[in-house]
Amino acid sequence: MNAASPMKILLYGGTVEGRTLAEALDAAGVETLVSVATETGENLLTSASEYLSVRRGGLGVQGMESLMREGFSHVIDATHPYAVNVSAHLREAAGKVGLPYIRVVRESGDMEGCTVVDSLAEAVASIDEEGNVLSTTGSKEIAAYADLPNYQTRLYARVLDAEKSVAACEAIGLEGEHIIAERGPFTVQHNVEQIKRFDIATLVTKDGGKEGGYPEKLEAARQCGVRMIVVRRPVEEGGFTVSQVLAQLGMTVIS
Protein backbone atom coordinates (compact mmCIF):
# COMPACT_ATOMS: atom_id res chain seq x y z
CA MET A 1 0.00 0.00 0.00
CA ASN A 2 1.26 3.50 -0.79
CA ALA A 3 2.26 5.83 2.02
CA ALA A 4 -0.30 8.50 2.75
CA SER A 5 0.17 11.74 0.84
CA PRO A 6 0.36 15.12 2.63
CA MET A 7 -2.30 16.39 0.20
CA LYS A 8 -5.98 16.34 1.11
CA ILE A 9 -8.33 16.70 -1.86
CA LEU A 10 -11.92 17.88 -1.98
CA LEU A 11 -13.23 16.45 -5.24
CA TYR A 12 -16.62 17.45 -6.63
CA GLY A 13 -17.63 14.62 -8.92
CA GLY A 14 -20.66 12.68 -10.04
CA THR A 15 -19.09 12.19 -13.49
CA VAL A 16 -16.87 9.65 -15.21
CA GLU A 17 -13.94 12.04 -14.79
CA GLY A 18 -14.69 12.30 -11.09
CA ARG A 19 -14.64 8.54 -10.75
CA THR A 20 -11.35 8.25 -12.64
CA LEU A 21 -9.72 10.91 -10.47
CA ALA A 22 -11.08 9.38 -7.26
CA GLU A 23 -9.66 5.98 -8.15
CA ALA A 24 -6.27 7.47 -9.08
CA LEU A 25 -6.08 9.54 -5.89
CA ASP A 26 -7.10 6.55 -3.79
CA ALA A 27 -4.44 4.36 -5.41
CA ALA A 28 -1.83 7.04 -4.71
CA GLY A 29 -2.74 7.21 -1.04
CA VAL A 30 -4.19 10.72 -1.20
CA GLU A 31 -6.91 11.45 1.35
CA THR A 32 -9.91 12.45 -0.75
CA LEU A 33 -13.47 13.46 0.02
CA VAL A 34 -15.72 13.11 -3.02
CA SER A 35 -18.78 15.33 -2.94
CA VAL A 36 -21.65 14.31 -5.23
CA ALA A 37 -25.10 15.82 -5.57
CA THR A 38 -27.14 12.73 -6.39
CA GLU A 39 -27.42 9.00 -5.84
CA THR A 40 -26.56 8.51 -9.52
CA GLY A 41 -23.25 10.29 -9.01
CA GLU A 42 -22.53 8.27 -5.89
CA ASN A 43 -23.19 5.01 -7.70
CA LEU A 44 -20.46 5.84 -10.22
CA LEU A 45 -17.85 5.51 -7.48
CA THR A 46 -16.22 2.44 -6.08
CA SER A 47 -16.68 1.72 -2.38
CA ALA A 48 -15.10 4.02 0.18
CA SER A 49 -11.64 2.98 1.33
CA GLU A 50 -8.89 4.01 3.73
CA TYR A 51 -8.24 7.18 1.75
CA LEU A 52 -11.53 7.74 -0.06
CA SER A 53 -14.82 8.91 1.44
CA VAL A 54 -18.03 10.09 -0.20
CA ARG A 55 -20.48 12.81 0.74
CA ARG A 56 -23.85 13.16 -1.03
CA GLY A 57 -26.00 16.27 -1.17
CA GLY A 58 -25.93 19.71 -2.77
CA LEU A 59 -24.37 22.73 -1.05
CA GLY A 60 -24.69 26.46 -1.58
CA VAL A 61 -21.68 28.77 -1.62
CA GLN A 62 -21.62 29.07 2.18
CA GLY A 63 -21.83 25.30 2.62
CA MET A 64 -19.04 24.78 0.09
CA GLU A 65 -16.91 27.39 1.83
CA SER A 66 -17.46 25.77 5.22
CA LEU A 67 -16.53 22.34 3.87
CA MET A 68 -13.41 23.70 2.17
CA ARG A 69 -12.12 24.98 5.50
CA GLU A 70 -11.79 21.43 6.83
CA GLY A 71 -8.08 21.16 6.08
CA PHE A 72 -8.12 20.53 2.34
CA SER A 73 -5.15 21.43 0.15
CA HIS A 74 -6.92 21.50 -3.24
CA VAL A 75 -10.42 21.73 -4.68
CA ILE A 76 -11.02 19.78 -7.89
CA ASP A 77 -14.19 20.49 -9.85
CA ALA A 78 -15.11 17.45 -11.94
CA THR A 79 -18.80 18.25 -12.17
CA HIS A 80 -20.77 18.00 -15.41
CA PRO A 81 -19.79 20.40 -18.24
CA TYR A 82 -23.29 21.92 -18.13
CA ALA A 83 -23.34 22.44 -14.34
CA VAL A 84 -22.27 26.06 -14.75
CA ASN A 85 -23.87 27.35 -11.55
CA VAL A 86 -22.17 24.69 -9.44
CA SER A 87 -18.79 25.47 -10.98
CA ALA A 88 -19.29 29.21 -10.43
CA HIS A 89 -20.13 28.59 -6.77
CA LEU A 90 -17.13 26.31 -6.30
CA ARG A 91 -14.81 28.86 -7.88
CA GLU A 92 -16.22 31.59 -5.64
CA ALA A 93 -15.98 29.51 -2.46
CA ALA A 94 -12.43 28.38 -3.19
CA GLY A 95 -11.42 31.99 -3.80
CA LYS A 96 -12.83 33.06 -0.44
CA VAL A 97 -11.05 30.25 1.38
CA GLY A 98 -7.83 30.67 -0.60
CA LEU A 99 -7.61 27.11 -1.91
CA PRO A 100 -6.26 26.17 -5.35
CA TYR A 101 -9.24 25.49 -7.63
CA ILE A 102 -8.79 23.09 -10.56
CA ARG A 103 -11.51 22.69 -13.19
CA VAL A 104 -11.66 19.40 -15.11
CA VAL A 105 -12.79 19.71 -18.73
CA ARG A 106 -13.79 17.31 -21.49
CA GLU A 107 -12.82 17.38 -25.11
CA SER A 108 -15.66 18.57 -27.32
CA GLY A 109 -17.32 16.22 -29.78
CA ASP A 110 -17.41 16.26 -33.56
CA MET A 111 -20.26 18.49 -34.69
CA GLU A 112 -19.85 18.27 -38.43
CA GLY A 113 -23.26 18.07 -40.06
CA CYS A 114 -25.09 18.88 -36.82
CA THR A 115 -27.32 21.83 -36.01
CA VAL A 116 -25.58 23.53 -33.07
CA VAL A 117 -27.55 25.82 -30.74
CA ASP A 118 -26.98 27.67 -27.48
CA SER A 119 -29.93 26.40 -25.43
CA LEU A 120 -32.54 23.70 -25.28
CA ALA A 121 -35.23 26.30 -26.00
CA GLU A 122 -33.39 27.17 -29.21
CA ALA A 123 -33.09 23.47 -30.04
CA VAL A 124 -36.84 22.96 -29.64
CA ALA A 125 -37.57 26.01 -31.78
CA SER A 126 -35.37 24.62 -34.58
CA ILE A 127 -37.04 21.18 -34.75
CA ASP A 128 -38.95 20.55 -37.97
CA GLU A 129 -42.73 20.79 -37.83
CA GLU A 130 -43.15 17.10 -38.58
CA GLY A 131 -41.34 13.92 -37.54
CA ASN A 132 -40.64 12.17 -34.26
CA VAL A 133 -37.99 13.46 -31.86
CA LEU A 134 -35.63 11.56 -29.56
CA SER A 135 -34.48 13.71 -26.65
CA THR A 136 -31.31 12.68 -24.82
CA THR A 137 -30.91 15.98 -22.96
CA GLY A 138 -32.17 14.64 -19.63
CA SER A 139 -35.20 15.50 -17.53
CA LYS A 140 -34.12 18.74 -15.87
CA GLU A 141 -35.35 20.95 -18.73
CA ILE A 142 -37.83 18.53 -20.26
CA ALA A 143 -40.61 21.13 -19.96
CA ALA A 144 -38.95 23.08 -22.79
CA TYR A 145 -40.32 20.48 -25.22
CA ALA A 146 -43.89 21.56 -24.40
CA ASP A 147 -43.39 24.30 -27.00
CA LEU A 148 -43.04 21.66 -29.70
CA PRO A 149 -46.28 21.16 -31.66
CA ASN A 150 -47.88 17.78 -30.89
CA TYR A 151 -45.00 16.93 -28.58
CA GLN A 152 -47.00 14.36 -26.61
CA THR A 153 -47.19 12.13 -29.69
CA ARG A 154 -43.90 13.12 -31.36
CA LEU A 155 -41.46 13.25 -28.44
CA TYR A 156 -39.58 10.27 -26.99
CA ALA A 157 -37.56 11.27 -23.95
CA ARG A 158 -34.63 9.13 -22.85
CA VAL A 159 -33.96 9.92 -19.21
CA LEU A 160 -32.40 8.24 -16.20
CA ASP A 161 -34.33 5.38 -14.66
CA ALA A 162 -34.97 7.41 -11.53
CA GLU A 163 -38.35 8.31 -10.06
CA LYS A 164 -37.62 12.04 -10.25
CA SER A 165 -36.70 11.86 -13.94
CA VAL A 166 -39.78 9.89 -14.89
CA ALA A 167 -42.00 12.20 -12.84
CA ALA A 168 -40.66 15.22 -14.73
CA CYS A 169 -41.67 13.62 -18.01
CA GLU A 170 -45.09 12.67 -16.72
CA ALA A 171 -45.60 16.24 -15.50
CA ILE A 172 -45.65 17.49 -19.10
CA GLY A 173 -47.98 14.74 -20.23
CA LEU A 174 -45.61 12.11 -21.59
CA GLU A 175 -46.59 8.51 -20.93
CA GLY A 176 -45.98 4.92 -21.94
CA GLU A 177 -43.17 4.29 -24.39
CA HIS A 178 -42.65 8.04 -24.83
CA ILE A 179 -40.67 7.87 -21.58
CA ILE A 180 -37.53 5.78 -22.12
CA ALA A 181 -36.18 5.36 -18.60
CA GLU A 182 -32.80 3.66 -18.72
CA ARG A 183 -29.20 4.16 -17.75
CA GLY A 184 -26.18 4.23 -20.07
CA PRO A 185 -23.64 3.80 -21.41
CA PHE A 186 -25.38 3.23 -24.75
CA THR A 187 -23.77 1.65 -27.78
CA VAL A 188 -24.15 2.83 -31.36
CA GLN A 189 -26.34 -0.20 -32.03
CA HIS A 190 -28.61 0.59 -29.09
CA ASN A 191 -29.07 4.14 -30.35
CA VAL A 192 -29.73 2.89 -33.87
CA GLU A 193 -32.35 0.45 -32.62
CA GLN A 194 -34.21 3.21 -30.75
CA ILE A 195 -34.07 5.56 -33.72
CA LYS A 196 -35.61 2.88 -35.91
CA ARG A 197 -38.11 1.63 -33.35
CA PHE A 198 -39.61 5.07 -32.73
CA ASP A 199 -39.23 6.28 -36.33
CA ILE A 200 -37.06 9.19 -35.19
CA ALA A 201 -36.41 12.09 -37.56
CA THR A 202 -34.50 14.34 -35.13
CA LEU A 203 -32.17 13.50 -32.26
CA VAL A 204 -31.55 16.24 -29.69
CA THR A 205 -28.52 15.99 -27.41
CA LYS A 206 -25.83 17.90 -25.55
CA ASP A 207 -22.10 17.81 -26.21
CA GLY A 208 -21.36 15.32 -23.46
CA GLY A 209 -18.09 14.27 -25.05
CA LYS A 210 -16.80 10.72 -25.07
CA GLU A 211 -17.68 10.33 -21.39
CA GLY A 212 -21.30 11.24 -22.09
CA GLY A 213 -21.77 8.87 -25.04
CA TYR A 214 -21.80 11.65 -27.62
CA PRO A 215 -19.79 9.79 -30.33
CA GLU A 216 -22.21 6.84 -30.19
CA LYS A 217 -25.19 9.15 -30.68
CA LEU A 218 -23.54 10.95 -33.56
CA GLU A 219 -22.60 7.75 -35.35
CA ALA A 220 -26.11 6.34 -34.90
CA ALA A 221 -27.65 9.53 -36.28
CA ARG A 222 -25.33 9.41 -39.28
CA GLN A 223 -26.05 5.74 -39.94
CA CYS A 224 -29.80 6.36 -39.82
CA GLY A 225 -29.70 9.62 -41.73
CA VAL A 226 -31.50 11.59 -39.02
CA ARG A 227 -30.95 15.19 -38.10
CA MET A 228 -28.95 15.82 -34.91
CA ILE A 229 -29.35 19.02 -32.91
CA VAL A 230 -26.63 19.71 -30.33
CA VAL A 231 -26.88 22.13 -27.42
CA ARG A 232 -23.33 23.46 -27.16
CA ARG A 233 -21.57 23.67 -23.83
CA PRO A 234 -21.44 26.87 -21.79
CA VAL A 235 -18.20 28.78 -22.26
CA GLU A 236 -15.56 27.55 -19.81
CA GLU A 237 -13.01 29.84 -18.17
CA GLY A 238 -10.32 27.25 -18.80
CA GLY A 239 -9.48 23.93 -17.26
CA PHE A 240 -7.53 20.72 -17.52
CA THR A 241 -8.05 17.12 -18.59
CA VAL A 242 -7.89 14.31 -16.05
CA SER A 243 -4.34 13.47 -17.08
CA GLN A 244 -3.26 17.10 -16.76
CA VAL A 245 -4.79 17.36 -13.30
CA LEU A 246 -2.91 14.28 -12.11
CA ALA A 247 0.30 15.64 -13.61
CA GLN A 248 -0.20 18.89 -11.71
CA LEU A 249 -0.53 16.89 -8.52
CA GLY A 250 2.67 14.99 -9.30
CA MET A 251 1.01 11.68 -10.10
CA THR A 252 1.20 9.23 -12.96
CA VAL A 253 -0.65 10.45 -16.01
CA ILE A 254 -3.57 8.28 -17.12
CA SER A 255 -3.35 7.35 -20.78
CATH number of the domain at 23, please.
3.40.50.720
Are the beta carbons of 220 and 198 closer than 8 angstroms?
Answer: no
Q: How far apart, in whole angstroms, are the C-alpha atoms of residue 59 and residue 35?
A: 9
Q: Residue 155: inside a domain, yes or no?
A: yes
Please enumerate in sequence order all residues whose Cβ is within 8 A of that of 197, keeping only pairs 6 or more positions apart, or say none.
none
Q: Do 221 and 243 lie in a common domain?
A: no
Between 243 and 170, where is the model more confident? 170
Beta strands in 186-249 (DSSP E): 200-206, 227-231
Q: Residue 172: inside a domain, yes or no?
A: yes
pTM of the model: 0.75
Q: Residue 182: inside a domain, yes or no?
A: yes
Q: Do 177 and 164 lie in a common domain?
A: yes
Rounded average pLDDT over 107-112 = 88
Are the beta carbons of 33 and 53 closer than 8 angstroms?
Answer: yes
Q: Do 135 and 220 lie in a common domain?
A: yes
Q: What is the mean pLDDT of the chain?
A: 89
Domain count, the chain: 2
Q: The domain containing residue 171 runs over which residues?
A: 115-231
Q: What are phi and psi of 118, to 5 degrees?
A: -95, -15
The per-residue pLDDT for range 51-100, each reduced to its tens digit, is 888 888 777 888 899 999 999 999 999 998 888 889 999 999 999 999 99
Are the beta carbons of 80 and 17 closer than 8 angstroms?
Answer: no
Pick from 31, 34, 138: which is nearest to 81 by CA? 138
Q: Do 39 and 99 lie in a common domain?
A: yes
Q: Residue 254: inside a domain, yes or no?
A: no
Between 209 and 165, where is the model more confident? 165
Q: Do 91 and 146 lie in a common domain?
A: no
